[in-house]
Amino acid sequence: MTRLLSVLIILLVGLVIASLVVGPAPIGPLTSLEALWSGDQTPLALVMREIRLPRALLAVMVGASLGLSGAAMQGYLRNPLAEPGLLGISGSAALGAVLAIQTGLAAGFPLGLPLAALAGALIGVLLITLLAGRQGGTLSLILAGIAISALASALVSLVLNLSPNPFATSEIVFWMMGSLADRSMEHVLLALPFVLLGAALLLTLGRPLDAITLGEDAAEAMGMRVRRVRWRLIIGSALVVGASTAVAGTIGFVGLVVPHLIRPWVGAMPGRLLVSSALGGAAMVLLADIGVRVILPASDLKLGVVTALIGAPLFLHLIYQTRRELA
Amino acid sequence: MSQLSCRDFTVALGDRPVLEGVNLTIESGELVGLIGPNGAGKTTLMRAALGLIPASGHCSLAGLDDRNRARTVAWMPQDRSVAWPISVEALVMLGRMPHRMPGQRPSAQDHEQVAAAIRQVGLEGFEQRAVTRLSAGERTRALIARALAQQTPMIMADEPIAGLDPAHQITTMQTFAGIADSGRSVLVSLHDLGLAARHCTRLILIGERRVVADGAPVEVLTADNLARIFHIEAFLQSTDHGPVFQSLRVLGP
């Protein structure tokens, strides 16, 4: 376990450095890093501090959020197909963002879009709370998540359908593909408190998630308050996923695939998966975001497209492997 | 010494009353079989006694906080699925959870208790095997080891022998009998009245929302009780090998 965490941390540091030195501006790696620490007001120092640093920090935050939330969701629901989008939080955050673009709020002031997305996520959580009910079980939680996802998706389609402005329509479509380009430190500071609070809630779930391996009844009899665990999961996931979607758009497959990749290395215990999945998720998003800039530097390749292009084949490989093991 | 006592215990699921005014006591060293037809309320009684569903009346476990209850009784639900391919050792170690503070690593004593529990159910050599790769019988034994590692004076198991082949059914009941012989008390619900008669020191028959009979197997499995509660006629004979029970036919309305 310690060795796995060390490897992931080394990988993450390497990818953060790579992310900082990769960009359209033709600058050498050492010069870039020196400019970052110099504190100068040169154009290069500004590029490093205002463009590349927030981009790398956001990649770490968003990836860690998705990996952590995915691992917690799979552990709680005892289902390897669970992922952060299941609760409908990313869908409702996306709806908030889409409405901000359509109404011109996003163009009105810089943080209009992420704030609207956060408001969308908050409304999504409130709806889940109402639909799933205080006494509701896991099934009602999943059904409420599916209903909210479907409703948010239908409303996004309605906005696109009725949009009189083709520019807003194309902006919405591109935003929904997810990206970390052109983000600033304001985006980092906006998302950071939500991500930290949500991560703190999710990281305390290790022990109950281990117990839930045997089912909710057995976990409850071992002294775990399963209903409290459910609320910590909902609120923690809503905070990290809502904040991530608000600053980066919809980024799929990270929360689904990363826990699968890491599970064999931690003996499959859901509690041990939390920290390692967060680190793995951060590494995957950093890698994909570097890929976005290296593969087609001239085109505005979207991050969500690349994570799906990496994630889907990995997931297919895992399915193939599992099928072969079961045969 | 009494490990569980319920007095005037009443449980409803939603608007439907399931048990009314149930009285029962389980003593140390007993292997008690909880029997009754489908839907009689066996699972409901055990879950309510554990505090997993609300109930009224007195239950000795009700006054305990979560941690102390988990140190008093280990629960094996009917659902024996394990979600992830964790090792047998990791599964049994889950039983030590109520004895450790959050964040605390397993101690040498925890490892000793886990090894002893694995030995007691005869799963030595399987410690590193993924639970999902065990047979149904082996998995049941691994789950019993998990309950044993919890080091509680009492174990409650809901239909632990359902779905097992005859050899594994007998082995499982013998394991529970061994646990009871070591001074702990065991309450198991089961449908196999033959195994219940042969292995349990006492039977509690649930029907018509209450305890219909409570006593030695031959006192509980009477022709009248079997006809009234199970609607069957059966053969029951005390032999040198212990009581032998066989259902014969379903009685008409």
Q: Is the pLDDT of residue A110 over 80?
A: no
Binning pLDDT at 50, 70 and 90, where does residue B57 land?
very high
CA angle A230, A236, A241 (to 5 degrees): 120
Tokens of A11: 């990988």
Reported as a single tens digit per residue, the pLDDT across A278-292 is 999 999 999 999 999
Give the pLDDT score at B176.
Answer: 93
Using CA atoms, how far residue B232 sits from B189, B193, B246, in Å, is 19, 12, 10
Q: How many Å apart are CA A249 and CA B229, to the nearest integer? A: 62
Helix (H, G, I), strand (E, B) or coil at B88: helix
Task: Please judge whether A268 and B130 are an interchain contact, meaning their C-beta atoms are less than 8 angstroms apart.
Answer: yes
Using the Cβ of B52 and the Cβ atoms of chain A, whether some distance falls under 8 Å is answered with: yes
Task: Please judge whether A214 and B69 are an interchain contact, meaning their C-beta atoms are less than 8 angstroms apart.
Answer: no
The residues facing B249 across adjacent strands are: B233
B103 vs A contacts (CB less than 8 Å):
207
Specify the pairing of strand B2-13 against strand B16-27. Answer: antiparallel
Give every CB contact of residue A69 below 8 A, 6+ residues apart in sequence. A84, A198, A202, A236, A237, A240, A241, A255
- Measure CB to CB from residue A268 to each of B86, B103, B146 and give the nearest one: B86
Q: Is the pLDDT of residue A325 over 70?
A: no
Give the pLDDT score at B134.
Answer: 92
More confident residue, A132 or B113: B113
Q: How many Å apart are CA A50 and CA A266, to the nearest integer? A: 37
As for the ipTM of the complex, it is 0.90
More confident residue, B110 or A85: B110
What's the whole-number average pLDDT of chain B?
92
Q: How many Å apart are CA B26 and CA B23, to the nearest integer? A: 11
**DSSP label at residue B251:** P
Reported as a single tens digit per residue, the pLDDT across B20-55 is 999 999 999 999 999 999 999 999 999 999 999 999
Helix (H, G, I), strand (E, B) or coil at B246: strand
Reported as a single tens digit per residue, the pLDDT across B193-238 is 999 999 999 999 999 999 999 999 999 999 999 999 999 999 988 8
Domain segments of chain B as ranges? 80-151
Give the pLDDT score at A326.
Answer: 55
What's the whole-number average pLDDT of chain A?
89
Task: Please judge whether A223 and B76 are an interchain contact, meaning their C-beta atoms are less than 8 angstroms apart.
Answer: no
- The topology under which CATH files domain A2-326 is ABC transporter involved in vitamin B12 uptake, BtuC (1.10.3470)
Q: Is the pLDDT of residue A133 over 80?
A: no
Q: Which of A209, A214, A232, A263 to mutate to test the interface with B (most CBs of B within 10 A)?
A: A214
Reported as a single tens digit per residue, the pLDDT across B157-191 is 999 998 888 988 998 899 999 999 999 999 999 99
The proportion of chain B whose per-residue pLDDT surpasses 90, expressed as a percent, equals 76
Tokens of A155: 């409303």
A24 in Cβ contact with A290 (< 8 Å): no
In angstroms, how far is CA A158 from the centroid of its own chain?
A: 25
Mean pLDDT of B2-30: 91
Lowest mean per-residue pLDDT among A63-72, A291-300, B120-129 = A291-300
Reported as a single tens digit per residue, the pLDDT across A184-229 is 899 999 999 999 999 999 999 999 999 999 999 999 999 999 989 9
Tokens of A283: 């590494």
Q: How many Å apart are CA B186 and CA B179, to the nearest integer? A: 8
A213 vs B contacts (CB less than 8 Å):
82-84, 86, 91, 94
Task: Please judge whether A223 and B130 are an interchain contact, meaning their C-beta atoms are less than 8 angstroms apart.
Answer: no
Q: Report the residue of chain A nearest B95, measured CA to CA.
A: A222
Lowest mean per-residue pLDDT among A225-234, A311-320, B65-74 = A311-320
Give every CB contact of residue A42 below 8 A, 6+ residues apart in sequence. A35
Task: Please judge whether B75 and A213 are an interchain contact, meaning their C-beta atoms are less than 8 angstroms apart.
Answer: no
Give the pLDDT score at A327.
Answer: 55
Tokens of A275: 């920290």
Reported as a single tens digit per residue, the pLDDT across A113-128 is 889 998 998 899 889 8
- What count of CB pairs under 8 Å joins A to B? 72
CA distance B186 to chain A (A): 16
CA distance B8 to chain A (A): 23
- Measure CB to CB from residue B75 to each of A213, A218, A267 and give the nearest one: A218
Mean pLDDT of A299-318: 87
